[in-house]
Amino acid sequence: MMFWLGGLVTFAQNDPQAKEILDAMSAKYKKIPAYSADITSSLINEVDGINEEFGGKITVKGEMYKLEMDDQIVINNGTTVWTYLPDVNEVNIDTYDPDEDEISPSKIYDAYKKGYKYLYVGNETDNGIAVSVVDLVPNDKDAQFFKIRLFIAKKDHSLKSWTMFDKSGNKYKYTIKNFNGSISPKDGTFAFDATKYPGVEIIDLR
């Protein structure tokens, strides 16, 4: 609790240096209509000795995205979210809520603009690349994640990775590789096609 209270003091004012770095990153991705990349997702809990890693691919176009991981596929067309679980051949359908706490792949580059305070932490090397480190802390004390740490390449302002910290001690790290900003995905990419999954159980939560 002492750490959290100290964090509130630290983030009382937004950091101009952090804003400059975040604005440059945001401007970079706003110029790209659509992109794809390989993405690695890691769940880390040092107290419980958990370190799980999943690989996959992300495709983004505007507010829409398709995230294909080893353990699930998440598709968002801006109004509807499909979450497919291959282990049980089940898809959950829900209405997309843009105000929810979780940071989606299509929002991570602009998240700092609303509902967060930010602070420049320093410089590091991430997989051999010089990066600026910026922390985001939500204004909402009840948010699922109490901190999001961004690692942004100093050379070209690209987001290399980010780590989300929740209150149970879990850290969720996402690392981006093989970025391709020259794709033109069809809108059909961002909808779940049940015909490709014979026998799939559909659970509509809308």
Q: Total structural domains in the chain? A: 1
Return the SS3 of 26: helix
pLDDT digits (tens, 9 = 90+) for 65-101: 999 988 899 999 989 999 999 999 999 999 988 766 4
CATH number at 144 reads: 2.50.20.10
Q: From the CB of residue 17, how many other CB atoms can be counted at a distance below 10 Å?
A: 12
Is residue 102 a contact partner of residue 80, using CB atoms and an 8 Å limit? no
pLDDT digits (tens, 9 = 90+) for 90-133: 999 999 887 664 567 777 888 888 888 999 999 999 888 999 99
Q: Domain range holding 43?
A: 2-204
Kindly state the tokens that stand for 11: 């983030």
